[in-house]
Every structure is written in structure tokens, then in C-alpha cells.
Amino acid sequence: GQQLNQSPQSMFIQEGEDVSMNCTSSSIFNTWLWYKQEPGEGPVLLIALYKAGELTSNGRLTAQFGITRKDSFLNISASIPSDVGIYFCAGQASGSRLTFGEGTQLTVNP
Amino acid sequence: NAGVMQNPRHLVRRRGQEARLRCSPMKGHSHVYWYRQLPEEGLKFMVYLQKENIIDESGMPKERFSAEFPKEGPSILRIQQVVRGDSAAYFCASSPLTSGGASTQYFGPGTRLTVL
């Protein structure tokens, strides 16, 4: 089956620093999605990418859909304490199931 | 503007009992998906349903698990004769009807099942 490798597994940063995380896949996806999950809650959609090469921003977040359609990255600029959480990438090969990465646990020290 | 609703939020069952998890999709969404998340892991796809139809159940265990999305009412994920290994967070997601293209999925808050 399809597998996503997400890295890094965890990050500990100081408030104000920039953050970058990425996902790579063994197969092609048509859609890449980035979600954030906080303890006891469901994943919240941050950014959706629909075309290879697409670069999309949402406030301090920027994500790109890789040209090969097998990878994506998420950048967070000028991190703040409320950015703490687990960030998941998810790929979608068709209009159905999502394949999730294992998550990046982000800790922001004030 | 209610999002995806799931209930109960927490469910405790003893081994051998049945668990019923409910999901009401966002208004206007006709596609429902169920995912399972074990501690420290990502979400794993279980089943994809439209009203009165199971579209893809390739992620569902072959025994004890079933799902439905009736014409009226919420989608139900049913686990019969629960075992300790069923303890996990179960998330429902919904998406709008699409014409074969991408369908962005929005998640509910999840049901945390604990099997004693």
C-alpha cells in the first residue's frame, strides 16, 4: 500500500523561529493536505494543494506540492506558542481515502 | 455552520460488548469517511461511504466491524465483541459531492474508545 514518510518526527524551537517539515511518498498523489491536531481533538485542515508545483499560503503557513507529485513541504514562519501541536501531511490518490504521515510534534518555547 | 459532529466523545466498553460510534457530516456533505488513530500514530483509513452505499471498505477489519450511512440520520461505525486492541480514537470526516475531482475532508472531534 501507499506509505508516507514524514520528517522530522519532532521539533523543539524557540518562539519566533521558522519551521519546516516535509513528506515523501513512494507513489504519486493528486492532492496533498496538511492538518494540525491538538490533544483530544480531531485534525484541522490547514492547507490543501491540488496541482503539482502549487505553492499556497495561509497566514504564516506556506505549503508546496512537489513537481514529482511524490512530496510536499510545510513551512511555518515566526512561530508562536499556539503553533504547538502535531502536524500531519495527507495524500489523496483519488477522491476517496487519505493516506496520512506519522506526524511532526512541534513544541515552541516562549 | 456546524462542523462534523461525533458522539459520544468518550466511550468505555468491557471486552465482548458492542460499541456504536455516530457521525453527522457537515451540512451539504454527502461523503463520510472513518479513520482510526492509535496513540503516537497517524490516522489510518477504514471505510468510505455515501448515503446508503459503502464505496470503499478496504481498510476495515474483516470481522466484528461494520459501517453504515443511512438515508436519514448519522453514519454509524459498529464494533461487535470489542477487544482491548480496539482501544483507539476513531475519527469521522466528511466532504462535499465532487465530480470525480479532489474532495477535501473535514474531520470531527473523534470518539475515544477504551476497552477494559
In order along its 110 residues, chain A shows pLDDT tens digits of 567 899 999 999 999 999 999 999 999 999 999 999 999 999 999 999 999 999 999 999 999 999 999 999 999 999 999 999 999 999 998 768 899 999 999 999 98
**Are B59 and A35 within 8 A, CB to CB?**
no
Nearest C-alpha neighbor of A25 from the set A62, A72, A87 = A72
* Residue range B30-46, pLDDT digits in tens: 899 999 999 888 899 99
Most B CBs within 10 A among A49, A72, A98, A104, hence the mutation to make, goes to A98
**Pairing between β-strand B10-13 and β-strand B111-115 as defined by DSSP bridges:** parallel
- pLDDT value at position B98? 64
Longest Cα–Cα distance of chain B, Å, equals 44
Rounded CA separation B58/A81 (Å): 39
Return the C-alpha cell found at B48: 468510505
Angle (CA) A76 A82 A87, round 5°: 50
Q: Residue A48 is nearest to which of B48, B104, B107, comparing CB atoms?
A: B104
* Residue range A78-105, pLDDT digits in tens: 999 999 999 999 999 876 889 999 999 9
